[in-house]
Chain A
Amino acid sequence: MSEQGQTADGGDLEQALSDLGRQIVYPPMRPLDAVVGGRLRARADGSASRPVRPSLRGLVRRLALALLALAALAGGVLVASPDARSAVASWFDLQGVVFLYRPVPPHPPSSVGAPLGLGQRLILPSVGAPDEVYLEALSQGTQVSLVYRPRPGLPAVAGSRVGLLLTEARGWFEHNPVYFKGLEPGTRVAEVRVNGVPAYWLTGKPHLFWYTDASGTPTMERIRLAGNTLLWARNGLIFRLESALSLKQALRIAESVR
């Protein structure tokens, strides 16, 4: 073997292998997506989804839930750890917003969102909703979760003490749809629209969904609550609203998020 151009560990061999890897001819294989999908459906005992396309007229009504959190931020007062500042600021894309920081107070014992693994907790100095806000570092970017306790008109999701969870992260749906709600037998997915953009309404037993993160990497994310989920993307952000609400109620809240 020629020694010229070799690295100590045999760089020419490695380069030759890389070149070979690009040139190997693999036997053609038929597309397996439909085949695998058919096998799964056969085993799932009839869990076909039924698209729901309700009229959205009259549903646009601003509720205070998530908007309050955003209003608190826009108002220039956010109590958060200093480390969270740049992440939150860039996440919300707020220009010229003044953030006032002071140490995060100890978590109260009634932290209902902590068991959900949402990341670092933030406190918003707002009265009313949301009750808790969490900031979580992802491999790319940051995810913010707003937690709302149950209240009249906002029933608790089964198995939790949470009435509503709104999560936002940078990303988009590369495919339509590209979520993984169909993973569990009995899960149903319906295409709907939130303020005119495609959205997905997921019921049944969803666990995971799929989106493309800020770096363009396909990313799998877990649904936190065993309720219904509304997923949508807007302006480079993925929104996820989990609750025990009906589609109509969830859409109303989703369309209030600005």
Chain B
Amino acid sequence: MSAYEVLVRRYQDLAARAAFLILGNAAEAEDATQEAFVKAYYALARFQEDRPFRPWLLRIVTNEAHNRQAADGRRAALLLRAAETQPAAENGASPEAAALQTERRGALLRAFTALSDDDRLIIAYRYFLDLSEAEMAEALDCPRGTVKSRLSRALARLRAMLGDVHLWAEGEEGVSHV
């Protein structure tokens, strides 16, 4: 196996998730991921090795995904699905509490899906792909201060969409913090 294939294997999950979160389609996400890795290979000579690699790769992946989205002329419906709630015995919650938790999570997922592409991307970078603020600034090619303000606005819009949905009921904040 070539050295670059080691790199592809290491970062495929991250790249594929980013592509899927933009394109909302498994086949399109795979094509975009594959193409992004090929383009990244030929762009490596321009990569500054003192900069973080993950955001650099993500920039290529998201550019590729956005280009495909634009070429396609439509935005695919993002179909995200969350894993089933763990059995009540595992997280200590009653079946009723678990059902409530599932319902709240569904509401959050629907609200997230309804956001604009830009808002979804910045939220996904931070909370789904676990990028640091510095990495987000690199990936989005903007100052860290801009990242903060954009993320803050995106969260405010998400909160507004959720309306009066309670993410946790009174007294059970710890349930989802496990």
Contact = CB atoms under 8 A, between A and B. Distances in A.
B82 A24 contact: yes
Nearest to B8: A33
- Chain B interface secondary structure, helix, strand, loop or mixed? helix
Given A29-B29, A183-B44, 9 more contacts: A16-B108, A19-B105, A29-B16, A33-B5, A37-B5, A180-B3, A183-B4, A208-B47, A220-B53
A156 B157 CA distance: 62
Interface residue tally on B, bucketed by range: 35 or more
B71 interface: no
B127 A189 contact: no
Interface string B107-123: 01100100000000001
Contact of B38 (A2, A39, A207): A39
Contacts of B129: 21
Interface string A15-30: 1111111011111111
Q: Which of A10, A24, A177 has its CB near the most chain B CB atoms (within 10 A)?
A: A24
B164 A27 contact: no
A238 B159 CA distance: 49
Interface of B: 1-10, 12, 16-17, 20, 26, 29-30, 33-34, 37-38, 41, 44-45, 47, 49-50, 53, 80-83, 104-105, 108-109, 112, 123-124, 126-130, 152, 155, 158-159, 162, 164-171, 173, 176-177
A205 to B, nearest CB: 10
A197 interface: no
A218 B8 contact: no
Contacts of A33: 1, 5-6, 8-9, 12
A36 B4 contact: yes
B147 to A, nearest CB: 14
A221 B50 CA distance: 8
Interface residues of A, number: 53
A166 to B, nearest CB: 19
Contacts of B4: 36-37, 40, 180, 182-183
A218 B105 contact: no
A175 B127 contact: no
Contacts of B112: 17, 20
A4 B159 contact: no
B74 to A, nearest CB: 19
